[in-house]
Amino acid sequence: MNTVQYICTIMNKKEIQEQRVKGYFITATKDLLKSDGLKSVSVRNIADRAGYSFATLYNYFKDVKDLVFLCVKDFREECREYVESRTMAITPGNKRLKAIILAYMEYFIQYPGIFDLFFAEKLSDISGKGDTSALITSLLDELCAADWDYCIDMRMLTSREAGLKKAALLYGSTGLLTLYLNRRHPGSYDAFLKQATHFIDSQLKS
Amino acid sequence: MNTVQYICTIMNKKEIQEQRVKGYFITATKDLLKSDGLKSVSVRNIADRAGYSFATLYNYFKDVKDLVFLCVKDFREECREYVESRTMAITPGNKRLKAIILAYMEYFIQYPGIFDLFFAEKLSDISGKGDTSALITSLLDELCAADWDYCIDMRMLTSREAGLKKAALLYGSTGLLTLYLNRRHPGSYDAFLKQATHFIDSQLKS
DNA sequence: TTATATTTTGAACACTGTTCAATATATTTG
DNA sequence: CAAATATATTGAACAGTGTTCAAAATATAA
């Protein structure tokens, strides 16, 4: 084994170990977020769960927000799978669009801490690497993409109309979830579901 | 002066003084919220600005959330006046509805801390006295009420259609503001205004 | 085994909200 | 007016937050 191979092995080993430890912290953060919500996510809680000292966290992440926002990617994927598994059997078009948006909301109702992370927690600095913001706002569009295309192909909608409806449904679902999770409006889950259904129906109509 | 009158005078004086001090704390909190946002609202910051010790605050409010949510009423009134003064000269109907909703959003863009207080900050307990939540969610409806009624009277809308549009505009504006203030989506204020205009137009149409 | 590099860690600092006993002030009574 | 009482104000203390840094533990190199 020559020197270059040797150095590569070393770097690989370091890289692998670093990713492993990072993973422990990320898993701990995700568990905490799902079970106890964003408010109980603290440096010391995370480190305890990961089996390290709180100071160790700062050798792998620049601050706690950096770590917390790294969870977005995994939750985004989880939400995508949650929605897809529940809607792939439905006939394409308006019917499936409605089911997708309802399942999307259902996911956040189930994990309010993830909603807080996605939509309420302030981003730290401007950087944000792969732009977490775009990752969040593009999720619903991505879930609905095939069905919007289907509607456009079937001449049920123009591309322009679809664009307007896409935006309205993103804003509306974000707002409805914000109001329900933070302001208890509407007052009960039944009332929320009713409002959500009415809203989606009215947006998909015509 | 008899005993009853005397006791009343005492109680009045106490009441007046108590309301005065409460007012100092509320004013300090409002100033802090408007200038530096919700994150800089702390017990010690408020008390410093009010000219008291942080411990004094707890003689007048049960906790800091109680105090912070007392500001909602004043800000609600301020927002109402902000919107009304900018839209009362406009001809009733769709045109004014659009202006009202835009001015409403403009107010929160101007004071992001007030938006956080209204829509992001978690309510403490279930009680909430005069239900702060309803105070918040009813504001836009109240601002638009006269114009919805006008549209219904003019046979431009049914009452049922107006109800759907009302809800969609509340959810949509809340969501759009949430995304713009917390996620920088869209990326610039110009793009935000464009999206807001398109959204409102599409909701008011037909 | 010794020397060097790396990782892990607790102490410390400046914050947060909240409670409580001590102090300062105002009011009532003798 | 002076003494006794009631009320208001306050800082110390506690448990929590995020973050930094130098010391200690561990792993790697010579």
CATH number at residue A11: 1.10.10.60
Q: A95 and A40 in one domain?
A: no
* Whether residues A80 and A179 fall in one domain: yes
Beta carbons within 10 angstroms of residue A23's beta carbon:
12
**Domain end call among A35, A61, A87:** A61
The residue from B12, B31, B61 where one domain ends is B61
The whole-number pLDDT of residue B124 equals 75
Do A56 and A75 lie in a common domain? Answer: no
- CA of A55: nucleotide with nearest C1': C9
Q: Is the pLDDT of residue A1 over 50?
A: no
pLDDT-derived band at A55 (thresholds 50, 70, 90) equals very high
Write the CB contacts of A40 (distance below 8 Å, at least 6 apart in sequence): A32
Residues B87 and B154 in one domain: yes
Res B181 pLDDT > 60: yes
A19, A77: one domain: no
- Minimum-distance CB partner of A172 among B39, B171, B206: B171
- The reply to whether B43 has its C-beta less than 7 Å from any atom of strand D is no
Report the sign of the C-alpha dihedral through residues A195, A192, A139, A136, in that order.
positive
Answer with the residue of higher pLDDT: A3 or B105.
B105
Do A28 and A86 have their domain in common?
no
Inter-chain touch B168–A199, beta carbons under 8 Å:
yes
DSSP assignment of B145-188 equals HHHHHHHHHTTSS-HHHHHHHHHHHHHHHHHHHHHHHHH--SSS
Instruction: Give me the pLDDT at residue B8, please.
Output: 53
As a whole number, mean pLDDT of residues B172-176 equals 98
Percent of chain A residues past pLDDT 90, beyond the cut: 88
Per the structure, the complete domain to which residue B7 belongs is given by: 1-61
Q: What is the pLDDT of residues B156-167, one digit of tens each?
A: 999 999 999 999
Q: Could you tell me if A14 and A71 lie in one domain?
A: no
Summarised one tens digit per residue, pLDDT across range A132-165 is 999 999 999 999 999 999 999 999 999 999 999 9
| Same domain, yes or no: A145 and A162 | yes
Q: Count the alpha carbons within 13 Å of B133 in the hemisphere toward its beta carbon.
A: 19
Do A44 and A117 share a domain, yes or no? Answer: no
Using the Cβ of A191 and the Cβ atoms of chain B, whether some distance falls under 8 Å is answered with: no
Query: Is strand C less than 7 A from the beta carbon of A59?
Result: yes
* Pair A185, A104 in one domain: yes
Least trusted range by pLDDT, from A34-48, A92-106, A166-180, B4-18? B4-18
Does B145 lie in the same domain as B100?
yes
Give the best residue of A183, A188, A200 to mutate against chain B (max B CB count within 10 A): A183
Q: Which of B123, B169, B183, B201 to mutate to test the interface with A (most CBs of A within 10 A)?
A: B183
Mean pLDDT for the stretch of residues B171-177: 98
pLDDT interval class at B126 (50, 70, 90) = low
Residue A160: CATH number of its domain: 1.10.357.10
Q: How many domains does chain B have?
A: 2
- Cα–Cα dist A115/A109, whole Å: 8
Mean pLDDT of B129-144: 92
A112 and A182: one domain?
yes
Of A61, A78, A94, which residue sits at a domain end?
A61
The label of the residue with tokens 């009423």 reads B73
Question: What is the three-state SS of chain B?
Answer: CCHHHHHHHHHHHHHHHHHHHHHHHHHHHHHHHHHHCHHHCCHHHHHHHHCCCCCCHHHHCCCHHHHHHHHHHHHHHHHHHHHHHHHCCCCCCHHHHHHHHHHHHHHHHHCHHHHHHHHHCCCCCCCCCCCHHHHHHHHHHHHHHHHHHHHHHCCCCCHHHHHHHHHHHHHHHHHHHHHHHHHCCCCCHHHHHHHHHHHHHHHHCC
Residue of A nearest to B162 (CA): A202
Report whether pLDDT(B91) > 90.
Answer: yes
In this prediction, residue A9 carries a pLDDT of 59
